[in-house]
Amino acid sequence: MQRTTATILSAVLLMGAETRMAPTKTLQPTKQNTSQELLFNNADNSYSLISNKNSIEITSPSLTAQVRRTVLANGLTVLTKEVHTAPVVSLQVCYQVGLAYEAPSEKGIAHLVEHMLFRKTQVRPVDFRHLLTALGSEFNAWVANDYTCYVDNVESNKLNALLTLEADRMQNSVFDDNGITQEKQVLIAELQATENIPNYRLYSAVMQSAFANHPYGQVLTKADFEKITVEQARNFYRKNYRPDNALIVIVGDFSTEPTLKTIQESFGKIPKGKGMTSREENANKLAFSPNPSLRKSVVINQPGKLPLLALVYPLPDRNHPDISALVVMDYILTSGATSKLHQALVWSGLASEVVGNTNLYSDGGWYFLGVTANLDRKLENVERTIEQVIANLQTQGVTDEQLNRAKKQIQAGTIFSSRNLNSQASLLAYDQSTTGDYRQTDRFLEAVAQVTAADVQRVANQYLKTENRTLGWLKPTKQTQVSGSLNITDFSRITADFRPTKPFSFPEVAKYLPPFPPSTAKSQQAIPQQLTLSNGLQILLLPDSSNPSVSLRGFVRAGQEFDPKEKIGLSTLTAMNLFNQSIWLVEEFENRGGFGLAVQPDREGTYISGISLKADLPFLLETLADVMQYASFPAESLESSRQSYLNALNAGAENPVDAAKQLFLQAIYPANHPLSAPPTQATLKAISREDVVDFYRKYYRPDTTVLALVGDFNPTVVRSQLEAILGSWQASNNAPSASNLPSVSPPNQIVRLRKRLPSQTQSLIVMGYPISNLTESKFYELKILNEILGGSSLSSRLGNELRYHQGLTYTIGCNLQTGHNFGLFTILMQTAPENTEKAIDITLAVLKQLQEQGVSKSEVEIAKQSLVSRYQLALADQDVLAEMILNNQVYGYKPEELHQQPRQIQAVTLNQVNQAVKDFIHPDKIIVISVGAN
- CB 168, CB 93: distance < 8 Å: no
Question: In whole angstroms, what is the distance from residue 669 CA to residue 111 CA?
Answer: 42
Sign of CA dihedral 393, 394, 396, 400: positive
Sheet holding 246-252, edge to edge: 39-40, 67-71, 77-82, 246-252, 88-95, 148-155, 138-143
Reply yes or no on whether the pLDDT at 46 is more than 70: no
Contact (CB, 8 A) for 771 and 824: yes
Q: Is the pLDDT of residue 425 over 90?
A: yes
Backbone angles phi, psi at 482, to 5 degrees: -120, 115
Cα–Cα distance, 897 to 903 (Å, whole number): 10
Give the pLDDT band (50/70/90) at residue 761.
confident
Residues 6+ apart with CB under 8 A from 874: 880, 881, 884
Nearest CA-CA partner of 318 in 103, 20, 33: 33
- Quick one: which of 759, 687, 710, 701 has its CA closest to 732? 701
Q: Residue 791: what pLDDT?
A: 84
* C-alpha to C-alpha distances, 448 to 338, 426, 445, nearest whole angstrom: 20, 21, 5
Q: How confident is the model at residue 393 (pLDDT cuts 50, 70, 90)?
A: very high
As a residue count, the chain comes to 934
**Higher per-residue confidence, 670 vs 106:** 106
pLDDT of amino acid 583: 66
Do residues 91 and 156 touch, judged by C-beta distance below 8 A? Answer: no
Q: pLDDT, tens digit, for every residue of 404-418?
A: 999 999 988 888 888
Which class for 77: exposed (0-12), middle (13-18), buried (19 or more C-beta within 10 A)?
Answer: buried
Q: Is 183 left (phi over 0), alpha (psi -120 to 50) or beta?
A: alpha
Q: What does DSSP say about strands 538-543 and 705-711: parallel, antiparallel, or unpaired? A: parallel
Pairwise CA distance, residues 430 & 407, whole Å: 21
User: Taking the CA atoms of the chain, what radius of gyration do you get in angstroms?
Assistant: 27
pLDDT tens-digit readout, 373-388: 987 789 999 999 999 9
Query: Quick one: what percent of the chain has pLDDT higher than 90?
Result: 53
Is it the case that residue 4 has pLDDT exceeding 80? no
Residue 371: what are its φ and ψ, rounded to 5°? -135, 135
**Residue 806 identity (one-letter amino acid):** Q
Q: Which stretch of DSSP H or E encloses residue 753?
A: strand 751-756
Write the DSSP assignment of 664-731 as a string of letters: HHHHHS-TTSTTSS---HHHHHT--HHHHHHHHHHH--GGGEEEEEEESS-HHHHHHHHHHHHTT---
- Over residues 440-460, the pLDDT tens digits come to 999 999 999 999 999 999 999
Give pTM, 2 decimals: 0.88
Of 64-68, 183-187, 816-820, which gets the smallest average pLDDT? Answer: 816-820
Least confident of 109-118, 176-185, 436-445, 759-768: 759-768
DSSP string, 820-878: SS-EEEEEEEEE-GGGHHHHHHHHHHHHHHHHHH---HHHHHHHHHHHHHHHHHHTT-H
Q: Write down the pLDDT at residue 44.
A: 28
Please report the pLDDT score of residue 670 as a whole number: 82
- Look up residue 503 and give its DSSP letter: P
Residue 713's nearest CA partner among 524, 552, 883, 898 is 552
Average pLDDT over residues 28-45: 27
What pLDDT, on a 0 to 100 scale, did the predictor assign at position 5?
A: 39
Please say if the pLDDT value at position 590 is more than 70: yes
Distance between CA atoms of 709 and 467, rounded to whole angstroms? 50
Q: CA–CA separation, 28 vs 201, rounded Å?
A: 26
User: In which band, very low, low, confident or very high, does the pLDDT at 54 lie, cut at 50, 70 and 90?
Assistant: very low
Give the three-class secondary structure for 346: helix
DSSP conformation class of 51: -
> What pLDDT does 114 receive?
97
d(CA 245, CA 409): 35
Rounded average pLDDT over 271-296 = 72
CA distance 112 to 130: 19
Rounded-to-integer distance, Cα 156 and Cα 823, Å: 35
Mean pLDDT of the chain: 84
Residue pair 812/792 in contact (Cβ under 8 Å)? The answer is: no
Give the Cα separation of 422 and 435 in Å (integer).
Answer: 20
Asked whether the beta carbons of 542 and 528 are under 8 A apart, the reply is yes
Cα angle for residues 609, 612, 617 (degrees, 5° grid): 105
The predicted structure's pLDDT at residue 522: 65
- Kindly report, residue by residue over 849-901, the tens digit of the pLDDT: 999 999 999 999 989 988 988 888 888 889 999 999 999 899 888 888 888 88
Output the pLDDT for position 12: 27
Residues 6+ apart with CB under 8 A from 227: none
Q: For residue 291, what pLDDT is reported?
A: 56
List the alpha helices (DSSP H) in 154-228. 159-171, 177-195, 198-210, 222-227
The predicted pLDDT at position 636 comes to 82
- The closest of 467, 468, 104 to 316, measured between CA atoms, is 468
What pLDDT score does 36 carry? 26
Least confident of 275-284, 475-484, 633-642: 475-484
Q: What is the mean pLDDT of residues 399-405?
A: 94
Distance CA 266, CA 250 (A): 15
Asked whether residue 268 carries a pLDDT value surpassing 70, the answer given is yes
Helix (H, G, I), strand (E, B) or coil at 754: strand
Q: Residues 481-492: what's their mean pLDDT?
A: 39
**DSSP calls for 563-612:** --GGGTTHHHHHHHTTT-S-HHHHHHHHHTTS-EEEEEE-SS-EEEEEEE
The number of C-alpha atoms within 13 Å of 371 and in the hemisphere containing its C-beta is 33
Q: Which of 5-19, 808-822, 836-850 has the lowest mean pLDDT?
A: 5-19
**By mean pLDDT, which of 86-90, 411-415, 553-557 is the weakest?**
411-415
Residue 485 banded pLDDT, cuts 50, 70, 90: very low
HEC profile for 761-804? CCEEEEEEEEECCCCHHHHHHHHHHHHHHHCCCCCCHHHHHHHH
Q: What is the mean pLDDT of residues 247-275?
A: 96
Backbone angles phi, psi at 353, to 5 degrees: -155, 145
Q: Which pLDDT does position 756 carry in this prediction?
A: 82
pLDDT digits (tens, 9 = 90+) for 645-673: 887 787 766 678 888 888 888 888 887 77
